């Protein structure tokens, strides 16, 4: 992506923790000069201090982009620091779960271009996926700029409606944690069947990574890929009879987990 507008006018990060750092790392690797980045964060990490960016110094007058990456609970305390940049000219991108566009419009003014995006932590190795939706003041070139920035850390998708953001958060925003827990529990299950811990963990990580990569690369859909592993009356069938059980298996469990995350996202927008 062409970073020249952002490099010339500057990019401000409000909050630079796990997800802000993952995004910043991607942009610096894509050639964004560190001198063009201003970070507001009361607790800058050692990694951030080593990047040569401006930390907690006065902001440029009209930066190209402000990225909001603080926890939703910190929003009220954090937003006043960038409120003066609202009103047009600067594009705001928020990755905060459960903080609506209307909340930002109340603070920054409805004429401010605001894009809500939901990335995920594989962004740290440029394998994230981010879903985006903009407000009425967002132009086509604002969307293109936001997609360009987010494509530096993985894939992007546009949403039709802001209401989809709660379910997106429950699926792909929080989803990496479900997969990490799958790896933990798959390895533990292998240990329970007699494998040493390190071997079980290595097999579990490679199995999840390889299956994920095959699901992306293959023209067959995941259900066919599952069938391809399953010999009639073999070992996989024995396991899938447990995992695909309507009430006690994955279908009900994941339905409940994604619903809980989606509901929590809705709750956060009301807090
Ligand atoms: N971690 C994840 O997987 C994802 C997180 N998000 C969203 O990103 C946001 C940040 O999450 P994380 O990076 O995980 O949290 P984090 O806790 O790692 O980072 C938050 C950062 O905000 C800073 N901060 C606290 N008060 C501040 C203030 N008043 N002004 C400026 N900075 C302040 C903290 O020092 C910290 O560095 C949240 O809103 C979360 O919903 C979105 C997608 C994925
Ligand atoms: O757990 C959370 O609230 C954030 C949003 C998506 C991932 N982490």
Percent of the chain with pLDDT over 70: 100
CA distance 217 to 174: 23
Ligand 1: atom nearest CA of 42 is 35
Ligand 1: atom nearest CA of 97 is 41
> Using CA positions, which residue lies closest to atom 7 of ligand 2?
174
**Helix, strand, or coil here: 168?**
helix
> Measured over all CA atoms, what is the biggest interatomic distance in the chain, rounded to whole angstroms?
68
Reported ipTM exceeds the 0.90 cut: yes
Q: What is the pLDDT of residues 203-240, one digit of tens each?
A: 999 999 999 999 999 999 999 999 999 999 999 999 99
Q: How much is the average pLDDT of 118-125? A: 92
Q: Count of alpha carbons within 13 Å of 208, Cβ hemisphere only?
A: 16
Q: Cα 116 from chain centroid? A: 11
Ligand 1 center to residue 19 CA distance, Å?
Answer: 7
- pLDDT confidence of residue 2: 74
- For the domain made up of 175-270, give the CATH fold: ProC C-terminal domain-like fold (1.10.3730)
Ligand 2: atom nearest CA of 265 is 3
- For the domain made up of 4-165, give the CATH fold: Rossmann fold (3.40.50)
- pLDDT confidence of residue 1: 72
Among 71, 98, 175, 179, residue to substitute to test ligand 1 (most atoms within 8 Å of Cβ): 71
Q: Which ligand is nearest to the CA of 47?
A: 1
CA distance 146 to 134: 10
- pLDDT confidence of residue 88: 82
Is residue 181 scored above 80 in pLDDT? yes
Name the residue ranges covered by the structural domains of the chain.
Answer: 4-165, 175-270
Q: What letter would DSSP give residue 58?
A: P
């Amino acid at each position: 992506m062409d970073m020249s507008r952002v490099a010339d006018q500057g990019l401000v990060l409000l909050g630079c923790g796990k997800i802000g750092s993952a995004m910043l790392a991607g942009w610096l690797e894509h050639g964004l000069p560190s001198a063009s980045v201003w970070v507001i964060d009361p607790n800058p990490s050692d990694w951030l201090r080593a990047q040569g960016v401006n930390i907690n110094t006065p902001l440029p007058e009209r930066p190209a982009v402000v990225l909001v990456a603080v926890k939703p609970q910190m929003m009220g305390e954090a937003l006043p620091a960038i409120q003066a940049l609202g009103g047009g000219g600067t594009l705001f991108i928020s990755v905060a779960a459960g903080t609506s566009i209307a909340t930002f419009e109340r603070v920054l003014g409805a004429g401010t271009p605001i894009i809500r995006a939901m990335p995920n932590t594989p962004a740290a190795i440029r394998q994230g996926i981010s879903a985006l939706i903009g407000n009425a003041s967002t132009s086509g070139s604002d969307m293109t700029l936001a997609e360009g920035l987010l494509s530096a850390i993985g894939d992007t998708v546009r949403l039709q409606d802001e209401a989809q953001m709660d379910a997106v958060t429950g699926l792909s925003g929080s989803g990496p944690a479900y997969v990490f827990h799958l790896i933990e529990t798959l390895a533990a299950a292998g240990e329970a069947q007699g494998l040493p811990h390190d071997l079980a963990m290595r097999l579990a990580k490679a199995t999840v990574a390889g299956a994920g990569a095959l699901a992306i690369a293959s023209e067959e859909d995941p259900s066919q890929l599952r069938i391809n592993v399953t010999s009639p009356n073999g070992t996989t069938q024995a396991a899938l009879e447990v995992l695909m059980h309507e009430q006690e298996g994955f279908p009900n469990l994941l339905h409940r987990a994604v619903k809980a995350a989606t509901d929590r996202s809705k709750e956060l927008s009301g807090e």
